[in-house]
């Protein structure tokens, strides 16, 4: 290669040729003196002087070659300018080509190793391939023999070449800050495991079925059934025979006892039987609370029941006319006052030993209308027991038990006011008293409800004037009931569907409840100051608790009656939360108030002990405070009214 | 045949029993009552078609008590089965039909 390039060489002798000439390439310029020193006057020492940079510029040529084409592909090409320079040097084309060929070969080798080796190393391999390719391209650009070269490549191995070109184009997009990184995630190790549950228990059955098998089975089964029936029947017969025998024996014994012992034995037997009956019914009605309670019927019979034996009355009094009302004396509960339909009153004494004493009022001295209500009074001035009666003739009488007679004292005659009468001629028309109620703890004051819807507040001291008149209802007032805790509060009910709760001498009611059918009876509960019960003509019992709900009853119980009957009366037991309801046909129903409806009142502050009665009063006062008009406001209004009048 | 006729005549003379008569059963009471009711309904509906009856019984049992029930309905057959305990009911119905149901 050297000989062909160098045209002429100087002729040298053998010695000269053999002489070894050592040449050493130095990194620094040997011509520059490295040991120059300079005297520094300030420090009075010689200081080494840095040599001047020994670079000499011999030749400088700016390139004027420009490339037209894909910049992104060629710009970062490091081989481009080099190739240009080499071309300018004027080197032979063959030489370049041979170089290209060797490059090509190297590329191929690298490619082969790539294909053999792991893909992990492909990165480096492709880079190597790239370089070789670039070299080739550079040479071709210079030589202009692009086509031939490519043809060669394709002949040799077209596929890898194509691949190379492709990869190269991608990789060279940005050669300077390109980096590649690979990572391998952990392998998830899988493992096989298997279990088997115990199979459900099984057994096997082997049988042959023929028609005769079925037939025989049916026959056998039928025979069994028949036998069982027979046996049952026989047992029954035996039992019946036993019963008959024992009954006969008992009869015989009873007969013997009667004949031998006579009357005293009989009464004792009666007593025993009575206790027995009580026991039996008590077992039957186990849930019902036990206490003596009075009940009544309105068909001319007064029956006295006990809760211990609801199936049969303890005492029974018959009257010619209907008995309208009864009342039991508070302190002497064996005295019972009865009001009759024909205007008479009666008293029954069921004290043991007295054997049901009955006193009836005189035919001459009686109400001229039905007696609607009787009330025992406990006037301390009276020595005898006395009671009041209200009749539809508008009169209130007081009756005193004097020995074996009843003496009558007229108390008041209720006459309608002028506004209520239809004309002037009817001025002295009497009101139709429907009910009467005495203020608790005050024997003098009482209320009378009339069929005209008025409520009169009267005193036994005044026989012709009233203390107050409430224009309460539009239809007859059926019942009045004083609150047992605050005597200023009372409730009234009427057939105009309403229950009203009043405060003493206030013209407007505090509460009005509309029950959408005639309210036959209303009673305050003795156990709570805010609870009242009402019964309606539809046979419903409504239980109100003002403390819980001021608008709706807290409990409504429909009592299933025979048709065409309605509930008439309702009464609380004084000690137990038991209600008794009577109806127009003569049925009595006793109800127990659910514990949910009578949760006892609790004191707000635990430290202070307040009597239960006081608590109840406070509760009612609180409830009423919501509906009472504030006193300040009312006085203001009055003042305003006065002012207006003045003006 | 003669025998069959004879038995039929006897039955006619006395009482023809058609109520379901359980021959073998190890089901619990609720399941048993339900199954008997189902069988009676199916057999009354498909009195002439035992195949249909069996199909109905099987399908209904599968729905009610979970799958893979087997039902055999016929007037004469033999069987040797292995069944899951508490799921076997073998009863006669209508005087001449035997029904065997089991789960396996």
Residue A136 has pLDDT above 50, yes or no: no
**Chain A environment of B74 (Cβ under 8 Å):** 209
Residue A215 has pLDDT above 80, yes or no: yes
CA-CA distance, A389 to A339, in Å (whole number)? Answer: 7
CA-CA distance, A438 to A375, in Å (whole number)? Answer: 8
Q: Residue A87 has what pLDDT?
A: 43
Q: Which residue has the tokens 């992104």?
A: A72
Q: Which residue has the tokens 């005050």?
A: A442
Q: The whole model's pTM is what?
A: 0.46
CA distance A233 to chain B (A): 22
CA distances from A194 to A188, A189, A200 (A): 19, 17, 19
Lowest-confidence pick of A109-113, A218-222, A488-492, B54-58: A109-113
Q: Residue A173 has what pLDDT?
A: 61
Q: Do A201 and B74 touch (CB under 8 A)?
A: no
Sign of the four-CA dihedral A610, A611, A616, A618 = negative
Name the 3-class secondary structure at A589: strand
Tokens representing A87 are: 């071309």
Residue B96 has pLDDT above 50, yes or no: yes
In this prediction, residue B81 has a pLDDT band, given cuts at 50, 70 and 90, of: very high
ipTM, 2 decimals?
0.82
What number is the average pLDDT over the span A264-277? 72
Quick one: chain A helix, strand, coil %, rounded to 5?
Answer: 30, 25, 45
**Chain B environment of A210 (Cβ under 8 Å):** 76
**Chain B environment of A218 (Cβ under 8 Å):** 17, 21, 92, 95
CA-CA distance, A72 to B30, in Å (whole number)? Answer: 86
Q: Which pLDDT tens digit goes with each residue over A1-27?
A: 444 555 677 778 888 888 888 877 777
Residue A208: closest C-alpha in chain B: B78
Q: Which of A205, A213, A219, A224 is best to mutate for the B interface (most B CBs within 10 A)?
A: A205
Tokens representing B42 are: 């199916």
CA distance B60 to chain A (A): 22
Contact A502, A491 (CB under 8 A): yes
Q: Which pLDDT tens digit goes with each residue over A380-416?
A: 777 788 888 888 888 888 888 887 788 888 888 888 7
Whether residue B47 lies within 8 A of chain A, CB to CB, comes out as no
What number is the average pLDDT over the span A414-419? 68
What are phi and psi for residue A142, nearest 5 degrees?
-70, -50
According to DSSP, the residues that pair with A292 across neighbouring strands are: A306
**Chain A environment of B23 (Cβ under 8 Å):** 217
């Amino acid at each position: 290669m050297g000989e062909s390039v160098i045209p002429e060489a100087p002729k040298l002798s053998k010695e000269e040729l053999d002489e070894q000439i050592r040449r050493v390439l130095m990194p620094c310029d040997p011509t520059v003196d490295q040991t120059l020193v300079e005297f520094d006057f300030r420090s009075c020492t010689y200081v080494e002087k840095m040599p001047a940079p020994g670079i000499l510029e011999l030749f400088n040529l700016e390139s004027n070659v420009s490339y037209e084409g894909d910049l992104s592909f060629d710009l970062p090409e490091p081989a481009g300018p080099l190739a240009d320079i080499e071309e300018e040097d004027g080197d032979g084309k063959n030489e370049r080509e041979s170089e290209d060929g060797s490059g090509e070969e190297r590329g191929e080798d690298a490619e082969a190793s790539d294909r053999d080796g792991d893909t992990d190393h492909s990165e480096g391999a492709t880079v190597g391939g790239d370089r070789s390719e670039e070299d080739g391209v550079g040479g071709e650009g210079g030589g202009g023999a692009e086509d031939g070269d490519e043809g060669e490549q394709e002949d040799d191995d077209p596929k890898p070449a194509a691949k190379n070109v492709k990869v190269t184009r991608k990789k060279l997009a940005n050669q300077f800050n390109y980096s590649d990184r690979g990572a391998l995630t952990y392998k998830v190790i899988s493992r096989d495991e298997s279990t088997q549950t115990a199979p459900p228990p099984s057994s096997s059955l082997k049988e042959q079925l023929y028609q005769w098998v079925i037939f025989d089975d049916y026959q056998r089964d039928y025979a069994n059934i028949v036998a069982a029936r027979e046996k049952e029947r026989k047992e029954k017969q035996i039992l019946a025979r036993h019963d008959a025998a024992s009954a006969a024996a008992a009869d015989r014994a009873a007969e013997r006892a009667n004949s031998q012992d006579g009357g005293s034995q009989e009464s004792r037997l009666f007593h025993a039987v009575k206790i027995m009956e009580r026991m039996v019914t008590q077992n039957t009605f186990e849930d019902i609370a036990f206490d003596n309670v009075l009940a009544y019927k309105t068909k001319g019979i007064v029956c006295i029941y006990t809760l211990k034996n609801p199936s049969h009355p303890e005492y029974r009094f018959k009257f010619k006319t209907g008995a309208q009302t009864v009342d039991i004396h508070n302190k002497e509960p064996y005295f019972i006052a009865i009001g009759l339909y024909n205007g008479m009153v009666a008293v029954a004494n069921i004290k043991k030993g007295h054997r049901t004493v009955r006193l009836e009022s005189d035919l001459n001295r009686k109400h001229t209308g039905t007696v609607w209500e009787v009330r025992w009074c406990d006037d301390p001035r009276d020595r005898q027991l006395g009671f009041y009666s209200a009749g539809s003739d508008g009169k209130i009488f007081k009756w005193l038990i004097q020995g074996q007679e009843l003496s009558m004292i007229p108390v008041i005659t209720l006459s309608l006011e002028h506004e209520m009468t239809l004309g002037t001629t009817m001025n002295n028309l009497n009101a139709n008293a429907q009910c009467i109620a005495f203020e608790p703890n005050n024997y003098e004051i009482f209320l009378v409800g009339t069929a005209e819807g008025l409520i009169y507040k009267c005193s036994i001291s005044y026989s012709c004037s009233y203390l107050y008149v409430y224009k309460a209802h539009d239809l007859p007032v059926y019942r009045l009931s004083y609150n047992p805790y605050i005597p200023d509060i009372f409730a009234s009910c009427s057939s105009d569907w309403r229950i009203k709760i009043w405060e003493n001498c206030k013209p407007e009611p505090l509460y009005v409840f509309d029950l959408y059918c005639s309210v036959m009876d209303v009673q305050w509960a003795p156990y709570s100051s805010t609870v009242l019960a009402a019964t309606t003509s539809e046979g419903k019992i409504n239980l109100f608790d003002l403390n819980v709900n001021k608008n709706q009853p807290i409990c409504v119980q429909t009592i299933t009656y025979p048709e065409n009957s309605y509930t008439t009366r309702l009464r609380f037991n004084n000690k137990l939360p038991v209600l008794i309801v009577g109806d127009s046909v003569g049925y009595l129903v006793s109800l127990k108030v659910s514990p949910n409806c009578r949760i006892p009142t609790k004191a707000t502050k635990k430290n202070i002990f307040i009597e239960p009665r006081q608590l109840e009063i406070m509760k009612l006062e609180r409830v009423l405070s919501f509906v009472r008009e504030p006193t300040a406001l009312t006085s203001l209004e009055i003042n305003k009214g006065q002012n207006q009048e003045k003006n | 045949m003669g025998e069959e006729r004879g038995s039929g005549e006897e039955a006619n003379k006395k009482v023809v029993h058609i109520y379901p008569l359980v021959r073998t059963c190890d089901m619990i009471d609720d399941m048993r009552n339900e199954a008997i009711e189902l069988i009676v309904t199916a057999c009354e509906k498909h009195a002439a078609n035992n195949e249909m009856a069996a199909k109905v019984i099987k399908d209904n049992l599968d729905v009610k008590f979970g799958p893979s029930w087997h039902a055999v309905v016929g007037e004469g057959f033999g069987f040797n089965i292995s069944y899951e305990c508490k799921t076997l009911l073998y009863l006669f119905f209508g005087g001449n039909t035997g029904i065997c149901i089991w789960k396996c």
